């Protein structure tokens, strides 16, 4: 892992060959079928939170989750980390324009978010390099193309929203990717982006065992300063950071699994986080440049 002294981003070098890439993604998590909601109905308290959360999502994002308690629209915002996790799961999408806006998810994986976006009323489609993930998405009836952003070369101003969830860290030339996305967005269009934060509290705590490093899959990592820099270079403006609540617990559990040589993909706090985790979550909530993930909205000028 090398660090760019100019902007603070980090990268792997040299570029891996195709055989290495194939091995790295042979059992990637986006191959699996689509997952469930943020809170499951296990026990009285979780059942209540689950139903409140559905009420919040239905009211704010236009979903049709059941069972739902409408009171959640008022109560979930009081539970800041849970509300933040719900908003991040919906990628902070606005309501689509009349007739449904055009949305592209770059690196859509198995299409879990595409299903949610369609439920919200968006005309959502995706693109992904991973054939296994694309097949999983297509089996769910989703419109997904096999390949990368280069499939849209020659097209301009096609989408109202483009989302990029944990993709930019897999790309050798992030500025080129962001420039292509900028061209594909309509004037006033929105980019939603999330990526691991090189300056996170977790990286400082776990060092080379931090889950966000993930070699050889992660090729470029950013901190808040370097990510904003490349967004501005790509032509974006009105850049704002969001809080992706509750991600710390899974990142820390996975990092500890790496330390002890355990199974990273199944590592979990199982709803019983350490008190130290809770304190770090509170710290990251109020200190945005230390969050495990950098979650940003950026807009193309009208």
Give the CATH number for residue 186: 3.40.50.150
Among 17, 47, 78, where does a domain finish?
78
What is the per-residue pLDDT for 121? 95
Enter the tokens of residue 136. Answer: 């999983």
Answer for the pair 199, 227: CB distance below 8 angstroms, yes or no. Answer: no
Domain that holds residue 91: 2-31+80-299
Nearest to 197 by CA among 128, 251, 254: 251
Question: What length does the chain have?
Answer: 302
Q: Structure tokens of 37?
A: 């909601």
For β-strands 102-106 and 159-165, DSSP reports them as: parallel
Are 193 and 46 contained in the same domain?
no
pLDDT of the residue at 100: 87
Statement to judge: residues 26 and 61 lie in one domain: no
**Domain end marker among 17, 46, 78:** 78
* Rounded Cα–Cα distance for residues 104 and 184 (Å): 10
Low-confidence ranges of the chain (pLDDT < 50): 1-7, 11-23, 31, 33-37
* Contact assessment for residue 174 and residue 230, using Cβ atoms and an 8 Å cutoff: yes
Asked if 67 and 179 sit in the same domain, the reply is: no
Sheet of strand 185-196, all strands in order from the earlier edge strand to the far edge: 144-146, 123-128, 102-106, 159-165, 185-196, 293-299, 237-242
Q: How would DSSP label each residue in 76-141?
A: GGGSHHHHHHHHHHTTTPPPPPTT--EEEEET-TTSHHHHHHHHHT-EEEEEES-HHHHHHHHHTT
Please state, in angstroms and rounded to a whole number, the distance separating the CA atoms of residues 140 and 8: 40
Let me know: does 241 contact 228? Beta carbons within 8 Å.
no
Residue 260: predicted pLDDT: 95
Tell me the pLDDT tens digit for each residue of 89-133.
Answer: 999 999 999 888 999 999 999 999 999 999 999 999 999 999 999
Residues 159, 238 share a domain:
yes
Residues 57 and 68 in one domain: yes
Q: At what angle do helices 247-260 and 275-286 cross, to 10 degrees?
A: 130
Coil, helix or strand at residue 33? coil
The verdict on 115 and 184 lying in the same domain is: yes
The CA distance from 110 to 130, in Å, is: 9
Residues 26 and 109 in one domain: yes
Cβ neighbours around 81 below 10 Å, total: 19
Domain count along the chain: 2
- Give yes or no: residues 99 and 135 share one domain: yes
In this structure, the answer to whether residues 174 and 119 fall within a common structural domain is yes
- Co-location of 267 and 226 in the same domain: yes
Q: Which of 78, 109, 136 is the last residue of a domain?
A: 78
- The verdict on 63 and 52 lying in the same domain is yes
Is residue 180 located within the same domain as residue 57? no
Report the C-alpha gap between 74 and 76 in whole angstroms.
6
């Amino acid at each position: 892992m090398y660090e760019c002294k100019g902007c603070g981003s980090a990268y792997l070098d040299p570029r891996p060959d195709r055989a290495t890439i194939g091995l790295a993604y042979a059992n990637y998590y986006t191959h699996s079928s689509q997952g469930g909601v943020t809170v499951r109905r296990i026990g009285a308290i979780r059942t209540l939170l689950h139903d409140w959360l559905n009420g919040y999502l239905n009211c704010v994002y236009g979903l049709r989750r059941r069972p739902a308690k409408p009171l959640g629209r008022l109560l979930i915002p009081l539970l800041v980390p849970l509300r933040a996790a719900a908003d991040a799961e919906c990628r902070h999408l606005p309501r689509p324009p009349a007739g449904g806006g055009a949305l592209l998810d770059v690196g859509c994986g198995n299409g879990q978010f595409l299903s949610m976006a369609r439920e919200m009323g968006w005309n959502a489609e995706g693109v992904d390099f991973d054939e296994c993930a694309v097949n999983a998405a297509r089996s769910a009836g989703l419109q997904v193309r096999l390949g990368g952003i280069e499939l849209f070369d020659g097209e301009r101003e096609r989408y109202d929203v483009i989302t990029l969830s944990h993709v930019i860290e897999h790309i050798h030339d992030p500025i080129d990717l962001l420039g292509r996305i900028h061209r594909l967005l309509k004037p006033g269009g929105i980019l939603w982006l999330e990526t691991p934060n090189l300056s996170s509290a977790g990286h400082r705590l776990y060092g080379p065992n931090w889950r966000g490093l993930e070699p050889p899959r992660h090729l470029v990592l950013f901190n808040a300063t370097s990510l904003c820099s490349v967004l501005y270079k790509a032509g974006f403006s009105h850049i704002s950071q969001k809080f992706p609540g509750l991600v710390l617990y899974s990142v820390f559990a996975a990092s500890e699994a790496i330390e002890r040589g355990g199974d990273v993909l199944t590592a979990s706090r199982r709803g019983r986080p350490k008190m130290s985790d809770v304190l770090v979550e509170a710290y990251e909530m109020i200190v945005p440049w230390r969050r495990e993930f950098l979650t940003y909205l950026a807009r193309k000028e009208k």
